[in-house]
Chain A
Amino acid sequence: MTTVIAQEGASPVGPRPLETVARIASEVARVHADAVDREGRFPAEAIEALKRARLLGVLVPASLGGPGLGLDEVAAMCEALAHHCASTAMIFAMHHIQVACLVRHGQSSPLLRAYLTELNERQALIASVTSEVGVGGEMRASVTCVEQRDGRFTLDKDATTISYGEHADDLLATARRAPDAPRSDQVAVLLRKGDFTLERTSAWDTLGMRGTCSPGAKVRSSGPAEQVLPVPFADIASQTMVPVSHVLWSSVWLGIAAGAVGRARAFVRQQARAKPGTTPPTAVRLAEVHNQLQTLRASVHEVSSDAGRRMAAGDPEALSSIGFSLKMNNLKVSASQLVVDIVHRALLICGIQGYKNDSPFSLGRHLRDAHSAALMIGNDRILATNASLLLVLKDE
């Protein structure tokens, strides 16, 4: 099968995948970013370019035919994409979160192993269905359940938010383990294209992240029972979904912040060129915001390489320790606040040129996109979790 596809022109991922992503970011994502935002449409061109460069299967390990890149490499790709189009970057991030969960928790199942090989060959895009009417942003609770009978499952779910669901090949959904299971006893289920239908229940006309196309939908699905992941979702969430989400989301926010500071820098340089020999007053503000950007970058990079190391070590204890959970949660909260502050400061530097939608220094999209960060799993919810973790942590 691999050879057939190779003959059809699919090339393996190139030798410098990060450079390829940076090129797609500036040559494709940037060109369409404003239209994607304005029209609230799927960034089809950028995602297509990422597929053609075979970047949707980069986490699939070599044993299953993939390049098996590390988490920090994917994080750097998310950042690069977000410099130019945060919606593209967030879609890329969310897809890799789902792949990471399957790679790390599905490999005891022959069917899921075969799926991962196929995902890489076909460059399939996976979306996430954790949200649900009745539980809001509480990822660790489900109302709906999966029912298994005669080797098949059925799963119907009324989801509040499914990013790019209508553009995805497959979905990864959470549900209660069985009809008599409590809300917190969940499993994750892979839903394959052709085996599910989506009935849109709301619109996605938001301030920012408009290109993620994330309306609510009723999902109806069935399939082979082996597509129910063999480990409790509690373990998938704590060891993989939460840490990978926080690392990749924060990398997207870092990219938004860097993109905004890039515009501010170009603005200050333009002012400086207009009056050679004098340093424009905005240059000091630029120095300040650049300093903040470095703080954000250092913290995202440090936590993402720590998470990458723990994942590569394959030690579940290291990933579910309380100290590590606190660290990941702290990264999410601080990065989601810093990105808003940094974009705001960049806006003050660019002044009215930043406030206008039609100037090359416009920061409206960055500002609107940045404000999604604190809401994506509400920061208060995360701080409440940390408050309870801090009641039990003994040493730091």
Chain B
Amino acid sequence: MTEAIRNILKEHGRLSVDISTLTDAADLYQAGMTSHASVNVMLALEANFEIEFPDKFLRRSVFSSVSAISEAVDEIRAAR
């Protein structure tokens, strides 16, 4: 799953560094992701994983790293 998340970030995260140089724990905002870009990341995640992020998941911290995103996706899928 982290591979799919990384591909989405590569396409929509508008990071100022190459995603492959970042660890799963690295702070994506410090890597240049803006809140506007995080909206597109979320839309791409929803399409890719066929999920919907409930409003309570729409927090800055949820999109702060590859592992945070991956945990959120797991949690949303588990709740289905």
Binding site for B on A (CB under 8 A): 140-141, 177, 181-185, 232, 234-235, 238, 317, 320-323, 385, 388-389, 391-395
Contacts and interface: CB of A to CB of B under 8 A. Distances in A.
10 shortest interchain CB distances as A-B pairs: A182-B32, A182-B16, A184-B34, A388-B39, A185-B30, A394-B55, A322-B58, A392-B39, A392-B42, A392-B58
Contacts of B68: none
Q: Of A234, A321, A323, A394, which is in contact with the most chain B CB atoms at under 10 Å from its CB?
A: A394
B29 A185 contact: yes
Contacts of A385: 36
Contact of A391 (B16, B29, B43): B43
A316 B21 CA distance: 32
B80 interface: no
16 contacts: A141-B34, A177-B30, A181-B30, A182-B30, A182-B32, A185-B29, A235-B60, A238-B60, A317-B59, A388-B36, A391-B39, A391-B43, A392-B43, A392-B58, A394-B52, A394-B54
Contacts of A235: 60
Contact of A185 (B32, B36, B43, B55): B32
A34 to B, nearest CB: 43
Interface string B18-40: 00000000000111111110010
B60 to A, nearest CB: 7
B29 to A, nearest CB: 6
B49 interface: no
Contacts of B32: 182-185
Contacts of B55: 321-323, 393-395
Contacts of A321: 55, 58
A174 to B, nearest CB: 14
Contacts, number: 51
A177 B32 CA distance: 12
Majority secondary structure of chain A interface residues (helix, strand, loop or mixed): loop
B35 A140 contact: yes
Contacts of B42: 392
Contacts of A181: 30
A141 B34 CA distance: 9
A184 B29 contact: yes
Contact of A232 (B29, B39, B52, B59): B29
Interface string B38-70: 010011000000001111101110000000000
A391 B34 CA distance: 16
A236 to B, nearest CB: 12
Contacts of B39: 388-389, 391-392
A234 B64 CA distance: 12
Contacts of B29: 184-185, 232, 234
A395 B54 CA distance: 9
A381 to B, nearest CB: 11
Q: Of A183, A234, A392, which is in contact with the most chain B CB atoms at under 10 Å from its CB?
A: A392
A322 to B, nearest CB: 5
B58 A234 contact: no
A274 B54 CA distance: 63
A135 to B, nearest CB: 12
Nearest to A394: B55
A321 B39 CA distance: 14
Q: Of A177, A388, A395, which is in contact with the most chain B CB atoms at under 10 Å from its CB?
A: A388
B12 to A, nearest CB: 12
Q: Of B32, B35, B36, B43, which is in contact with the most chain A CB atoms at under 10 Å from its CB?
A: B35
A391 B29 CA distance: 21
B14 to A, nearest CB: 9
B30 A320 contact: no
Contacts of B35: 140, 234, 238
B72 to A, nearest CB: 13
Contacts of A323: 55
Given A321-B55, A395-B55, A182 B31 contact: yes
Contacts of B52: 394
A177 B29 CA distance: 11
Given A140-B35, A181-B30, A232-B29, A320 B59 contact: yes
A388 B31 CA distance: 21
